Structure 1
């Protein structure tokens, strides 16, 4: 199965200088819980924004057009076809994790979407591509109020085609 997972603010902002523009431990825990034991696919810029480190207990795939790119503890792929062939053979879920261009490439092919909506507005430079939810069903929503560790109200949403 191919799925996308991301967090966005009320305006669809997803990044600032290749990093998250907010700190929300609850969302990081949701990401970890959802993706552990599976494969995550990200573009080179997103990977480098994470300090060029693969996340534990997941297979990391870095998508880049740079044929000489090397990433420790990750698989480097150079085309969407390569990623799709991998996902087709893979038993678990292949999660698309960013950035904007990578989401745009794979969204039409995803079977499930995991979206965190942060009930606030931030400044940044990367936005989630326009998303038409026609044909998608919201199958789960979890509301989260601010607390001592999570400064912003947010909700987790899961959609299926």
Structure 2
């Protein structure tokens, strides 16, 4: 099993503010969908609640400390730790950790790979992606995308693997 963290973060590692994204990058959404469809996606409760509805064709593992939290949605399982989520995701060769900030911090120890979209701008935020330690992670690919009529910011897809 290869656990992958997937995120989009600004130059200052900004992820979001008030439980919302800071930018709209259609190509990044498309890439996220392509990579995660058919897989287990692991997230915190606030990230789950930021979706209008569960993402199609994915099994959602929702981490919360609230023992009474539940959801009626199909393909959504509530767990109480990242370790428990990873254990449940063992059936999937490539489960994805999709946020938010707290879950990414915990996920650094569990992950084998990071798929990061680096948005080339700094943003005011209340949630941040953890710093990537180059002693632990090796950049294996990068793909730059300039801003255009559909994308307000330049961005680069960065893929890291654990050394």
TM-score by length of 1: 0.93
Instruction: For 1:1-150, list aligned pairs within 5 A.
Output: 1-51=2-52, 53-71=53-71, 72-73=73-74, 74-87=76-89, 89-150=90-151
Q: Distance in 2 between matches of 1:80 and 1:149?
A: 35
Runs of 4+ off more than 6 Å: none
Note the C-alpha offset of 1:80.
2.1
Whether contact under 8 Å (1:39, 1:92) holds in the other structure is: no
Note the C-alpha offset of 1:137.
1.9
Whether contact under 8 Å (2:40, 2:92) holds in the other structure is: no
- Secondary structure of residue in 1 paired with 2:158: strand
Whether contact under 8 Å (2:36, 2:96) holds in the other structure is: yes
Q: Distance in 2 between matches of 1:80 and 1:118?
A: 27
Backbone CA RMSD of aligned residues? 1.2
Note the C-alpha offset of 1:109.
1.5
Q: Which runs of no fewer than 5 residues in structure 2 stay unpaired?
A: none
Q: Which runs of no fewer than 5 residues in structure 1 stay unpaired?
A: none
